[in-house]
């Protein structure tokens, strides 16, 4: 069939990219050091500002974001996103905050959204086994323990309302700040699920479509 094109203009864009291995290594090494340092962990604690019921959440300082290359990587990814989708040049990218979530079995993050303009979530550590359905018989739906789920609008014909993402080390997802999302609990292991998130501001003339 000629000239057959599917357009999807009525949903927010979600960008999936890979975090360079060196950045993952540098961030994990830094985080492991913080975990061992109770005083530093307390100073960087970010739990009171976040909605999740998880073991530990702490913010990243400007120094490690720059030293690891995390800050420049986010800026480059966002710039490319804006150029490809909006055909515009980004002149401003300012990270408001970035933080790490250390989640263990039975912990979760309820549905929420962020401030700023651009947000994202990526994975630095993922347990080998996130668990399985409680019932032993075959289930119709996939087990989603530990998954990140993005939510927008309501389910309608030809238009879904959720995107369920299996966590994999190095995967990073960028999305508009208003896109709701949650993280499901898992139950298969004592290993850590370690994620990293951020909020950033971009040019207001690009973000503010009501101007």
Q: pLDDT tens digits for 71-83?
A: 999 999 999 999 9
Answer yes or no: is 56 within a domain: yes
Residue 76 neighbours by CB distance under 10 Å:
14
Q: Which helix (H) or strand (E) holds 150?
A: strand 148-151
Q: What is the pLDDT of residue 3?
A: 65
Q: What is the CA radius of gyration of the chain?
A: 18
Residue 194 neighbours by CB distance under 10 Å:
23
Predicted confidence band of residue 138 (pLDDT cuts 50, 70, 90): low
pTM for this predicted structure? 0.91
Predicted confidence band of residue 49 (pLDDT cuts 50, 70, 90): low
Does position 51 have pLDDT exceeding 70, yes or no?
yes
Answer yes or no: is 3 within a domain: no
Answer yes or no: is 9 within a domain: no
Q: What is the mean pLDDT of residues 116-121?
A: 97
Q: What is the pLDDT of residue 116?
A: 96
Total tally of structural domains belonging to the chain: 1
Task: Write out pLDDT tens, residues 140-156.
Answer: 778 899 999 999 988 88
For position 191, which CATH number holds? 2.60.120.620
- Residue 199, both tokens: 């909020």
Answer yes or no: is 179 within a domain: yes
Answer yes or no: is 117 within a domain: yes
| Residue 103: Cβ-neighbour burial (10 angstroms; 0-12, 13-18, 19+) | buried
Answer yes or no: is 2 within a domain: no
Closest listed residue to residue 183, CA positions, set 106, 95, 98, 74 = 106
Closest listed residue to residue 122, CA positions, set 99, 106, 105 = 99
> 77: domain range?
15-131+144-206
Answer yes or no: is 34 within a domain: yes
Answer yes or no: is 138 within a domain: no
Beta carbons within 8 Å of 75's beta carbon, 6+ residues apart: 93
């Amino acid at each position: 069939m000629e000239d057959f094109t599917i357009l999807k203009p009525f949903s927010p864009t979600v960008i999936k990219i890979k975090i360079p291995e060196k950045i993952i290594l540098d961030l994990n090494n830094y985080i492991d050091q913080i975990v061992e340092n109770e005083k530093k962990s307390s100073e960087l604690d970010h739990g009171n500002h976040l909605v999740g019921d998880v073991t530990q959440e702490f913010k990243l300082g400007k120094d490690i974001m720059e030293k690891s290359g995390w800050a420049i990587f986010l800026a480059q990814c966002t710039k490319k996103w804006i150029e490809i989708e909006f055909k515009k040049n980004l002149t401003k990218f300012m990270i408001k905050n970035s933080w790490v979530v250390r989640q263990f079995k039975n912990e979760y993050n309820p549905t929420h959204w962020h401030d700023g303009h651009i947000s994202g979530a990526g994975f630095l550590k993922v347990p080998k086994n996130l668990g399985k359905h409680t019932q032993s018989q075959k289930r119709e739906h996939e087990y989603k323990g530990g998954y990140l789920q993005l939510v927008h609008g309501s389910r309608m014909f030809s238009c879904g309302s959720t995107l369920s993402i299996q966590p994999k080390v190095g995967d990073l997802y960028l999305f508009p700040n208003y896109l709701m999302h949650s993280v499901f609990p898992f139950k298969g292991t004592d290993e850590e699920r370690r994620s990293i998130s951020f909020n950033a501001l971009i040019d207001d003339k690009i973000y503010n479509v009501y101007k």
